[in-house]
């Protein structure tokens, strides 16, 4: 093909890169610093080494543009708040006592009398961010020395960096009003004040030699109001006319930029990045947008969300057609590569038919570079020959079982009848106390799991260690006085990976770590084929725990939608087909647990909100199959067996209504303390009729709630839920907590619940 005059050299870039390190070097350094094992200077040196290694590696691949300012010690949203001095008044007292990095960590992790910022899911990803708090009188102050330092260090290595900053409108929309802000205050009220600081940043970047800055506006790939779109228009009219600035690249990652796209195309912004994987657009559709042809288009055709290889032949054909209508193209990833592991070549024992289909961050960078070169010089012949290869054969037994499902397989007796049967079988006090599953794992059990993987110990030796730890967890809960116990998930490495290792159709990695928040990382499994359960996965562990106590022990399972959401899922069939296979596998486990005498089974679905379509059009269909999958997984039990679930509550009314449709007997809601009040308002409005456990303290924070605080929140909950339906529980698992945090928190929870019972007339 003849190259465009704009393509005298190929142009390629990515929108971000994993920052935790190829072997989780940052995680280890952070945790060592937090426990006092290394100095702040040692932590900073580790960070600089990781930054510079990433720049050098990306430049060496042949990328024509390397992103900068993508490193973070905890979270890039919190970084942006710090960049512009958005520090809430409740943390101001610490500014004189702590250095900036320790103040940053306090806002992220909390300390006594200083609860952390809220931990909130980032857009539709499996990443979480600390939600900035905005106040009406907040005075922003630019603190960009670290960004300028990066640019200078990159230049010294011969690498020009393109700084990445969260866009101003998304920053405000992803923030919340501080607790004492007036009811009519909206974070967007601060936009004009904030834009001044963005212009100040642009001035400093331009003077430091930066030629382009990337502003991410992912909140505009979901439904937005006319007022928010007006704010977006005002922001980019203003910023694109700044007197001294680099070129502006504005990206819409994770979905369809929608009405924000023609707004950007009408401004003086030079470049726009589109996610053409999550929201494909034909060249004709893009050509129809006025002004877009004159922009530089960062065509996000390599997925930053999944781990499957890009079909380069088909993708190149699309790019060639796109270039005919928008001549100035940069081949790019659809979003940051933060959400995928670093290098598939470190996975030496994946099945060959799986490994051949995978591309992690390093490989995706290679795909971007190869596509950009081919757009200029033409594709190798082998691309045509391999296009569409590497399909997995179906499992006929699984397919037949799916085809035999009927509506009756998703139905239980009406809740009113089940409730009477459960009260007779499970005599519990009002406001029963429980936890949601995981407990901290000792060094001994982690070492035993590691040794088992290397065949250093036998499976029987491993079982002995795990059973000893389970007994400790049971005895601790009995001593604390909890009413419904859990076995602590001691045998599990992760709520997803544990089950994936035991299901057919899944592959797991050794080094496929992905950052969730801060130092928290997971290894999402790869769901590549039809799913089935060869044998029971949890029954032996749960029945052993139940044999140790007269109190009921809940079984904890991960639900089908959450297994889907937190895995890298096959892309050769619709997700609603895959989730039915997962539901049948979980159903088998539920029925085996019941047959073994377990009376409470918790099937966690925190991710139902995660997969909710960004725009209303697809939500009804999604919730129909997501709710249907949960009911298929849980409807095969007797009325006396109590089904619990754990999920995040959303302000989207359809999700609140879906809680009732799940038909679980008890639903625990992620509703960390400062969020509890609007959760309870939503419960009242939705009129939920089943048991509810709104989490009354945040388990991601080291802070210990006192008895009065928990009592106050439970008392507030009783305005929405009668005591017979209310449960007292933390808002998440306890795996990340230390014993000195966990035990007093739970004792205070139990004491507060007992106060409530006394006031309700039950001792």
Active site (catalytic) residues? 700
Residue 443 burial by CB count (10 A; 0-12/13-18/19+): exposed, middle or buried? exposed
What is the CB-side half-sphere exposure of residue 336 using CA atoms within 13 A? 27
CB atoms within 10 A of CB 602: 23
Query: How far apart, in Å, are the Cα atoms of 436 and each of 247, 253, 668?
Result: 49, 33, 8
Residues paired with residue 642 on neighbouring β-strands, in sequence order: 600
- Find all residues with CB under 8 Å of 436, minimum gap 6, and list them: 486, 556, 602, 604, 646, 668, 695, 729, 730, 731, 732, 733, 734
Helical (H) or strand (E) element with 273: strand 271-275
- Contact by Cβ (8 Å): 647, 609: yes
Name the pairing type of β-strands 176-177 and 133-134.
parallel
- Find all residues with CB under 8 Å of 354, minimum gap 6, and list them: 507, 526, 528
∠ Cα 159 165 168 (to 5°): 155
The whole-angstrom separation of Cα 221 and Cα 224 is: 8
560: its two tokens:
């089908």
The values of phi and psi at residue 698, to 5°, are -85, 125
Helical (H) or strand (E) element with 471: helix 459-480
The whole-angstrom separation of Cα 190 and Cα 168 is: 10
Residues in the chain: 763
- Find all residues with CB under 8 Å of 13, minimum gap 6, and list them: 63, 64, 65, 66, 67, 162, 298, 330, 331, 332, 368
CB atoms within 10 A of CB 480: 20
- Contact by Cβ (8 Å): 321, 3: no
**Ramachandran quadrant class, 319 (left: phi over 0; alpha: psi -120 to 50; beta: rest):** alpha
90: its two tokens:
């409740």
């Amino acid at each position: 093909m003849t190259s465009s005059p704009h393509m005298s050299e190929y142009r390629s870039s990515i929108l971000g890169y994993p920052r935790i390190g190829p072997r989780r070097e940052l995680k280890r350094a952070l945790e060592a610093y937090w426990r006092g094992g290394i100095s702040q200077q040692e932590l900073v040196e580790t960070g600089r080494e990781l930054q510079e290694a990433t720049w050098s590696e990306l430049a060496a691949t042949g990328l024509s543009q390397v992103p900068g300012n993508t490193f973070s010690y905890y979270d890039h949203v919190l970084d942006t708040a710090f960049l512009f001095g958005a520090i809430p008044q409740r943390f101001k007292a610490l500014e004189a006592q702590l250095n900036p990095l320790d103040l940053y960590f306090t806002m992220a992790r909390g300390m006594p009398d200083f609860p952390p910022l809220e931990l909130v899911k980032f857009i539709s990803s499996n990443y979480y961010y600390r939600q900035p708090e905005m106040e009406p009188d907040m005075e922003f102050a630019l603190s960009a020395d670290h960004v300028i330092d990066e640019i200078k260090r990159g230049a010294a290595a011969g690498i020009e960096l393109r700084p990445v900053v969260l866009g101003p409108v998304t920053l405000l929309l992803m923030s919340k009003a501080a607790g004492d802000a007036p009811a009519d205050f909206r974070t967007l009220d601060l936009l004009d004040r904030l834009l001044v600081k963005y212009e100040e940043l642009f001035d400093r970047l331009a003077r430091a030699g930066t030629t382009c800055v990337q502003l991410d506006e992912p909140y505009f790939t979901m439904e937005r109001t006319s007022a928010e779109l007006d704010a977006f228009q005002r922001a980019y009219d203003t910023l694109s006319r700044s007197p001294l600035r680099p070129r502006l690249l504005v990206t819409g990652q994770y979905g369809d930029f929608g009405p924000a796209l023609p707004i950007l195309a009408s401004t003086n912004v030079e470049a726009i990045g589109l996610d053409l994987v999550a929201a494909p657009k034909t060249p004709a559709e893009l050509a129809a947008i006025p002004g877009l042809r004159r922009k530089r288009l960062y065509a996000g055709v390599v997925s930053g969300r999944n781990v499957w290889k890009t079909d380069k032949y088909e993708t190149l054909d699309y790019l060639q057609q796109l270039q005919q209508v928008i001549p100035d193209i940069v081949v790019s990833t659809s979003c940051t590569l933060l959400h995928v592991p670093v290098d598939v070549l470190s996975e030496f024992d994946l099945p060959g038919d799986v490994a051949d289909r995978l591309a992690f961050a390093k490989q995706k960078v290679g795909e971007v570079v190869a596509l950009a070169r081919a757009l200029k010089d033409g594709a190798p012949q082998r691309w045509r020959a391999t296009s569409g290869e590497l399909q997995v054969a179906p499992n006929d037994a699984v397919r037949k079982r799916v085809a035999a499902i009927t509506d009756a397989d998703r139905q239980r007796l009406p809740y009113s009848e089940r409730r009477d049967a459960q009260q007779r079988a499970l005599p519990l006090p009002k406001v029963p106390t429980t936890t949601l599953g995981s407990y901290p794992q000792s060094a001994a059990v982690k070492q035993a799991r590691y040794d088992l993987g290397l065949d250093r110990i036998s499976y029987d030796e491993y079982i002995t260690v795990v059973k000893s730890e389970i007994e400790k967890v049971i005895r601790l809960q009995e001593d604390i006085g909890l009413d419904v116990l859990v076995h602590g998930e001691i045998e599990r490495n992760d709520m997803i990976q544990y089950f994936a290792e035991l299901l057919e159709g899944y592959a797991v990695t050794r080094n496929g770590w992905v950052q969730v928040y801060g130092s928290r990382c997971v290894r999402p499994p790869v769901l590549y084929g039809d799913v089935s359960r060869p044998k029971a996965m949890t029954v032996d562990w749960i029945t052993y725990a139940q044999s140790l106590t007269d109190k009921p022990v809940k079984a904890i399972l991960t639900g089908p939608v959450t297994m889907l959401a937190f895995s890298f899922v096959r892309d050769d069939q619709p997700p609603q087909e895959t989730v039915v296979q997962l539901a049948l596998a979980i159903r088998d486990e539920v029925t085996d647990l019941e047959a073994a005498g377990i009376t409470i089974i918790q099937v966690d679905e925190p991710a139902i909100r995660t997969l909710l379509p960004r725009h209303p059009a697809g939500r009804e269909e999604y919730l129909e199959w997501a709710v249907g999958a949960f009911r298929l997984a849980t409807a095969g039990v007797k009325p006396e067996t109590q089904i619990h679930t754990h999920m995040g509550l959303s302000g989207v009314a359809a999700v609140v209504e879906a809680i009732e449709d799940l038909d679980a007997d008890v639903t625990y809601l992620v509703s960390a303390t400062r969020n509890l009040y609007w959760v309870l308002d939503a419960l009242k409005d939705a009129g939920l009729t089943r048991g509810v456990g709104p989490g009354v303290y945040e388990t991601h924070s080291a802070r210990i709630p006192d008895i009065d605080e928990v009592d106050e929140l439970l008392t507030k909950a009783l305005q929405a839920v009668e005591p017979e339906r209310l449960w007292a529980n933390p808002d998440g698992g306890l795996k990340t907590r230390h014993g000195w945090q966990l035990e007093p928190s739970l004792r205070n929870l139990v004491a507060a619940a007992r106060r409530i019972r006394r006031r309700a007339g039950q001792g």
